[in-house]
Structure 1
């Protein structure tokens, strides 16, 4: 991703999507159109408005959001933010779907960027287009991936909550033992697979790299930069078929080469925790990951090197999986209060604090220029590589059919990793399921 799910911490920090969940929202579509507003207007006898936020976080990120809410309430005594209820971000889609169908839903929810198009089918989702154009939201300063991830059919349907991107983290010790130079920006996927092969030592239980093997979005989002760099896209221009029928084959050939060389650790469990444990334990040379992994790498005491993703063209290309703060209409008073809060939350002063303490990248250039972020980037080796890579990042399409495309491609990637399908056969099978999903009216 992602938005979006920090490993080995909560999957929500990675911006990933549990692809099967969107089907529940589609199935509930008939109930969404006529559902009533949430219970109560939120205005107390003293005129104070109470809004409910399902923040989706756990551990450190939850502590940060609670601290930010306390700060907001001190400066906005007429608004109270209730953080009760809700679920972790991985289960948020199903929770929100059920709440919308029941007519009792929060004012704000942490929704994965990949889920936003499905959620935004509900008329209860607040349209923020006019708000970001005229209000204090630093919309024009947001990085393009942050803007793209919250825009559905030309309308702004949420505010960005988290920004990340993929790069490669290398174990310097293993490179030295293998007699290999550390990679630099502009390297290729052929160089990546060759390096992974040379880092692999079966006798020592050492792998060149790793790949999630569950077939979910964590498996899939690593492949999109290869497709985009080759000139393909997730969905073709006609909107009726996949845009990677040819490019996907070549991208999967990279996966095939890793599997053929036995240089890739295939993580069989959701969340990629085992893959990251193998890396921080010193038994993997390179890992494709996002900045939320750096604290664990630092804690492990690893001497590491961060480099941008390889490409076929030697041009920079990566993926960002932003997650969102999605607002729901519970009447004018609560909606206005919710807009006030998320606008405050995404201002550079608060955003930079969230980024530093909870593991995101700055949403905007103004956030990146804050002293807190500058100091954090200086003391965190390699973090600047991720920040710089955002400028070349793309996001997955905000499209209601994306979960089914992702599911089909996830199966294709796993079948190639396991040696059960050739890249060409895997893409053909993916196309059959994905194209059928894209023919369903939006």
Structure 2
């Protein structure tokens, strides 16, 4: 099966925090002198680019073919793929070490939640004017993804993958329990009631599931509830997630996990998907990457928008990026921009994201034969594409988000395991995050 390495989508390793600290220590902040990195670019110059794709072995083969196709059309540009960086989970550590040693790629895949720290490194290109050119058609990409590609007011990369969270459910379990299927109009009260009815201790079946690993997978699932309740993650650079809205959002989850015991608590991020696929979890809040495994599992399923608060069904998008780096070489900078513009064009993206089972980057791709084939192969794909309209806000792209995310994830895990109240846990996470965000 061909798939990106998202864990899928936003899984963070313990090493990530250490890599972030190393990145900050080694780069000394933003050294941008205001000069366009590609000023003086000669499109005919002979250039070799290094592209860290961060993909699984199967997706890497697709990337290598595309790099070869680009070279065929531009013989003066050679693209070396994934040199020294085989998986996305390794990339931030390798980038940090590369910045320190002066050896880093021209283009790298990056989780969107790294954008703030990468933007503060002083090593990224400022692509703001580049993507503003009408020929790039920047506005064809989802707004949340464009926002995540922007750090400290500068565009540092281009979306590589777009997604969102929706509700995926097992119709058979609903039929067996005599419950009506979820709809796009469901509230969180509807979700909780269904989860309780679907739960059967005798068969170890749960109504829903949630990660309590403390990773970004734990954290970002809370953000839609926070936004739906009128809250925000930050106020400037100060934590704001511990507001009344944040407490109410976390209490919604706590009630299912602790009071109802209708929520399977996954310590690893990696179990709740397979449990859903095996018929042991009735509903999961997940993204389009789950459709690839569901296809393999041959499980009938349905997809709806997230439950909402007072008709607000906001979701969160976890877009990943192609980040472009500055090597004080106008030809490398210009060639990397041209390649990424080509790669993320509607024509080529259909051979990349749609070909490996991801949503298209651009809205115009919905009318392509490739999208029709994708929607047929992956039922629910159209619903996830439509749900991008509910991704109205983005996770902050500020230095320190990584540290804050871990603190919030730990707070959520404590609450769902009955070890703390939402208020005290979120207040503690805010206190622990304040310094990292200020720095």
Aligned residues: 424
Q: Is 2:279 the counterpart of 1:300?
A: no
- Aligned residue number for residue 318 of structure 1: 315
**Counterpart residue number, 2:264:** 265
Secondary structure of the residue aligned to 2:197 is helix
Q: Deviations over 1:129-172 (max 9, x none)?
A: 11111263220211101211101122111111010000011111
Distance 1:346 1:85 in 2: 23
Does the Cα contact within 8 Å between 2:398 and 2:437 map onto a contact in 1? no
Query: 5 Å matches for 1:22-421?
Result: 22-33=17-28, 48-83=46-81, 84-134=83-133, 136-236=135-235, 238-260=236-258, 261-269=260-268, 272-330=269-327, 331-393=329-391, 394-421=393-420
CA deviation digits over 1:311-348, x for unaligned, max 9?
Answer: 11222210000011011122112111111111100000
Alignment partner, residue 38 of structure 2: none
Structure-1 separation of matches of 2:227 and 2:2: 25
Unaligned runs of 5+ in 2: 32-40
Asked if 1:14 corresponds to 2:9, the answer is: yes
- Find the aligned partners of 2:228 and 2:234 in 1 and give their Cα distance: 15
> Shift of the alpha carbon at 1:233?
0.8
Q: Deviations over 1:21-65 (max 9, x none)?
A: 2453344435325999xxxxxx9xx95311001111113322221
User: Using the alignment, how far apart are the partners of 1:401 and 1:90 within structure 2?
Assistant: 18
> Is the alpha carbon distance of 1:9 and 1:266 closer, same or farther for their aligned partners in structure 2, counting shifts above 3 Å?
farther
- In structure 2, relative to structure 1, the CA distance for the partners of 1:224 and 1:424 (3 Å cut) is same
Query: How far 1:437 sits from its partner (Å)?
Result: 2.8
TM-score, normalised on structure 2?
Answer: 0.91
Q: CA deviation at 1:359?
A: 2.8
Residues 348 and 370, structure 1, Cα contact 8 Å, conserved in 2: no
- Please identify, of 11-20 and 240-249, the stretch whose mean Cα deviation from structure 2 is larger: 11-20
Question: Any idea what the Cα deviations from partners look like across 1:385-423, whole Å, max 9, x if unmatched?
Answer: 111110110321111121122111101110011111111
Cα-to-partner distance string for 1:203-250 (whole Å, 9 max, x where unaligned): 0111111111100101111110000011111102x4333244211111
Q: Measure the CA separation in 2 of the matches of 1:288 and 1:91.
A: 26
| Closer/same/farther in 2, CA of residues 168 and 432 from structure 1, 3 Å limit | same
* Distance apart, 1:362 and its partner CA: 1.7
| C-alpha separation in 2, matches of 1:29 and 1:97 | 8
